[in-house]
Amino acid sequence: MVSQRYRRVAAAVFSDMCKWSLWFFSILFAIHLVRVFWLNSDTDQIEGFFVFSQYSVNIFMLVVGIMTAYAFMGRHIQQGLSRRDSYAGTAIAAVGLSLFVTIVPLVINGIQHFLAETVALPVTLDTASAFEATGGWFAAAIALFLNVLTFYLAGWLISIGYYRFGWIAGFGFIALSFVVFGLNDYLWKPTTANAMAWLPYDPLDADFWLTALGSSVLVLVLFLAMRVMTKRVTIKM
């Protein structure tokens, strides 16, 4: 049975990861501003922050996931917490961070949309087309949330693989993470669907919510795999 200490773990881990994400978004937003106001001579239109940030946010979540085992797990066990509490708290923090890094681009994109309607900017900002592909901002937010959470879990998988089995076996977990990325791309990116036509499911013909369901199943499988991987891991002092 999980003790109530997992809540303190979740709060502490989420706080640390949020601090990292604030630095990340500050730098990313500064780059976006430079692009809007100074590096816009070759284009008449620039995508809004929601689209601009998606690839970088995925990479950020992957890196944070890779840091997880070494940055948090050993510290938790040394402080007397059980492996189950450490896992539960970290998993909750991962979901919370995924929500946070989804909401921040949405909010900034909304502010940009308002400014684009009221202030003359040096370049046109496309803040709406990202939501048309998925049928609205809510569906786009769900898609981003599931993607960033998948990237975090793939990074966590690499991290625990190296931590538990060493660097040689760790390469196998990197290969496994590429399988995760391939499945995730198959669900969300139409160009990947053609390369994986042998699978019995075509995401191009599927309803958005069916795709979201498939992505949720992938996330659930990764969470279960992480529970198995962390259950009896030897802590390195």
C-alpha–C-alpha distance, residues 161 and 134, integer Å:
35
Q: How would residue 195 be classed by pLDDT, with cut points 50, 70 and 90?
A: very low
Mean pLDDT is lowest, of 20-24, 46-50, 63-67, for 46-50
Residues 6+ apart with CB under 8 A from 79: none
3-class SS at 124?
A: strand
Q: How would residue 51 be classed by pLDDT, with cut points 50, 70 and 90?
A: confident
Calculate the alpha carbon distances from 169 to 74, 172, 231 in Å: 20, 5, 18
DSSP one-letter string for 17-63: HHHHHHHHHHHHHHHHHHHHHTS-TT-SEEE-HHHHHHHHHHHHHHH
Q: Is the confidence at residue 54, as pLDDT, over 60?
A: yes
Calculate the alpha carbon distances from 183 to 70, 159, 227 in Å: 27, 20, 21
pTM more than 0.85: yes
Q: How would residue 193 be classed by pLDDT, with cut points 50, 70 and 90?
A: very low
Burial status of residue 191 (CB atoms within 10 A of its CB: 0-12, 13-18, 19 or more): exposed
Burial status of residue 87 (CB atoms within 10 A of its CB: 0-12, 13-18, 19 or more): buried
Element housing 226 (H / E): helix 208-230
Q: What is the mean pLDDT of residues 3-16?
A: 89
Domain range summary for the chain, segments of one domain joined by +: 5-27+45-230
pLDDT digits (tens, 9 = 90+) for 114-159: 887 777 666 666 667 667 666 678 888 999 999 999 999 999 999 9
Residues 6+ apart with CB under 8 A from 124: 44, 45, 46, 116
Residue among 21, 24, 15, 13 nearest 71 (CA): 13
Q: Is the confidence at residue 15, as pLDDT, over 50?
A: yes
Q: Is the confidence at residue 96, as pLDDT, over 70?
A: yes
